[in-house]
């Protein structure tokens, strides 16, 4: 969490905890060039399990990093009309997964013998969704012979397949 707060501070992004509509865990709001961008997080996230708090915060930071200035012209009109851009949501989730799940995290998963997505999510303290994305992304870019992840290190397995696909 400290790394996320540090990144936000360096970028000039303010993180605010407020009561939000029940179905919203957080959102990013760009307010123009002269005002700092904001990340609003559900106030109860401060007492929520670490995996949820971390995942939501990094996802919203992903919006800051992957959105071009001006792409987000205020969240409430977008929220109330349900006009979420699925591609932008996917970009933010991928960015969060890539920054939460480092190569060292994969080494830890191998050492702990994680066998499925739920075990990976528990070890990494992220949501299942973030773990699935990290697993898929990792296996898209990692050649099978050099992969140290749990699914590739198992005896008799020559191909690097997703933990999610293998065990679901």
Q: What is the mean pLDDT of each run of 10 residues along the chain (168 residues)?
A: 88 93 88 87 92 92 77 48 65 88 80 83 89 80 52 47 38
What gap in Å lies between CA 113 and CA 154, rounded to an integer?
9
Q: Where are the domains of the chain?
A: 7-141
Cα–Cα–Cα angle for 111, 112, 114, rounded to 5 degrees: 115
Q: Are strands 38-42 and 26-29 parallel, antiparallel or unpaired?
A: antiparallel
Q: Please give the Cα distance from 149 to 157 (Å, whole number).
A: 12
pLDDT at 116: 81
- pLDDT for the residue numbered 53: 93
């Amino acid at each position: 969490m400290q790394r996320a707060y540090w990144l936000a501070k360096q970028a000039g992004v303010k993180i605010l905890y407020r009561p939000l509509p029940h179905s919203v865990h957080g959102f990013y709001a760009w307010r123009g060039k002269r005002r700092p961008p904001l990340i609003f997080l559900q106030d109860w996230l401060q007492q929520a399990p670490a995996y949820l708090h971390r995942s939501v915060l990094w996802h919203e930071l992903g919006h800051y990093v992957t959105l071009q200035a001006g792409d987000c012209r205020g969240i409430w009109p977008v929220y109330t009309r349900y006009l979420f851009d699925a591609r932008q949501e996917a970009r933010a989730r991928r960015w969060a997964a890539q920054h939460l799940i480092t190569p060292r995290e994969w080494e830890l998963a191998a050492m702990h013998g994680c066998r499925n997505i739920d075990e990976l999510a528990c070890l990494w303290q992220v949501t299942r969704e973030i773990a699935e994305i990290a697993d898929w992304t990792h296996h898209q870019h990692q050649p099978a012979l050099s992969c140290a992840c749990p699914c590739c290190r198992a005896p008799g397995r020559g191909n690097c397949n997703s933990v999610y696909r293998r065990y679901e």
